[in-house]
Amino acid sequence: MLEKIVLPLALIVLMLGLGMTLKRGDFLRVARRKRVVAAALLSIFLVMPAVAWGIGGLFDLAAPLSMGLILLAACPGGMLSNMMTHSARGDVVLSVTLTVASTLIYGLAAPLAVTLFISHPGDKMESTVLAMLRMVAEVLGVVVVPMLAGMALRSRNPLLCAAVEAPLRWAAAALVVAVFIRLGYLQIASFEAAGLRMVGAVVSLNLIGWVMAGAIGVGFRLSRSEFIAISMEHSIRQEGTGVFVAVSIVGNPHIAVPLIINSAVGFLLSVVMNGTTALLAGRRLGGPLV
């Protein structure tokens, strides 16, 4: 399948571009804001996947679609979430911190989730562990290693990175969109079978993610700008990473359906939800959420 070649290459270029925008200091910010970052990451990687599993059962989704919803729930944010955080006058530093941390964790979390979901009681433990390790290696190779390579390149030649980062990012994004369109066309039957149930499940996941971001904001008494950053990370996801896991690693395009739907629905919902947040929290940048 063409997407098994094009999508990994596009993701490698995207993550290389992301790395070109990062500095070593971006990782150090986690230590300075560890409580807020830890709360957001626990929500993304523990609470939201559990919520996705429950939503899959509530909407009576087939097993592959439920798996896709779980992968979607844990998908890291990407450069788009950072850009939208900046546009909404949110805390860009916090947004980048969460994007970097969640990208690193996803390399381990996604293969673990897939292994647990598709393994059967009769499977040998050795084969299950080997399958998970193989998936971890593949995800790290496509997602994490290029990001670190981009950071290393920036430290050596920042002017070159500044010149090529944007064209690389847009070219890779165009390839990802093309793959999504092709997969969507090939999975028309899955879209028709799931219908409004699948859309309802994706919308529900996004709304609950927004509520979770609000709970973190209120619980930690975050400023409006900090809350916007966390809210964006709960709603703007890098679906291409999840689609890569579904198509190139697991080899089941049906799993990609919720991620493809969210690439459009999630963006629109994020604009509405975060616009509402800005109105509720007031216009003053840095003003308290509560």
The string of pLDDT tens digits covering residues 45-70 is 889 989 999 999 999 888 888 888 98
Query: pTM for the complete prediction?
Result: 0.77
pLDDT of residue 76: 82
pLDDT of residue 120: 47
CATH number at residue 163: 1.20.1530.20
* Predicted local confidence at residue 288, as pLDDT: 47
pLDDT of residue 205: 92
> 3-state class of 33 per DSSP?
coil
Of the candidates 230, 219, 276, the one whose C-alpha atom is nearest the C-alpha of residue 44 is: 230
Alpha-carbon gap, residue 197 to 191, rounded angstroms:
10
Q: Report yes or no on 287 lying in a domain.
A: no
Q: Which residues of the chain have pLDDT under 50?
A: 120-126, 283-288, 290
Phi/psi of residue 244, nearest 5 degrees:
-60, -45
Q: Which two tokens stand for residue 67?
A: 């798996």
Q: What are phi and psi of 84, to 5 degrees?
A: -70, -35
Domain span at residue 153 reads: 3-281
Positive/negative CA dihedral, 217, 222, 223, 226: negative
- Residue 179 forms part of a structural domain: yes
Q: Is residue 35 part of a domain?
A: yes
| pLDDT at 58 (0 to 100) | 92
Residue 19 and residue 146 in contact, taking contact as beta carbons nearer than 8 Å? yes
* Domain presence at residue 200: yes
* Nearest residue to 101 (alpha-carbon basis) of 73, 135, 78, 128: 78
Interatomic CA distance for residues 255 and 239, integer angstroms: 12
Q: For tokens 């098994």, name the residue.
A: 4
pLDDT at 51: 93
Given this model, what pLDDT does residue 117 score? 66
- Say how many C-beta atoms besides its own lie within 10 A of residue 29's C-beta: 17
State whether residue 283 is helix, strand or coil.
Answer: coil
Q: Is residue 167 included in any domain, yes or no? A: yes
Does 89 reside within a domain?
A: yes
Q: How many CA atoms lie within 13 A of 234 on its CB side?
A: 36
β-bridge partners, 288: 223
- The pLDDT, as a whole number, for residue 55 is 94
At 88, is the secondary structure helix, strand, or coil?
Answer: coil
Domain total of the chain: 1
Q: Cα Rg for the chain, rounded, in angstroms? A: 18
Question: Residue 145's Cα: distance from chain center in Å?
Answer: 17
Task: Give residue 274's pLDDT.
Answer: 65
123 is a domain residue: yes
DSSP 249: I
What pLDDT is attached to residue 193?
Answer: 65
Per-residue pLDDT of 243-263, as tens digits, reads 888 887 778 888 888 888 888
d(CA 188, CA 3): 16
Residue 10 covered by a domain: yes
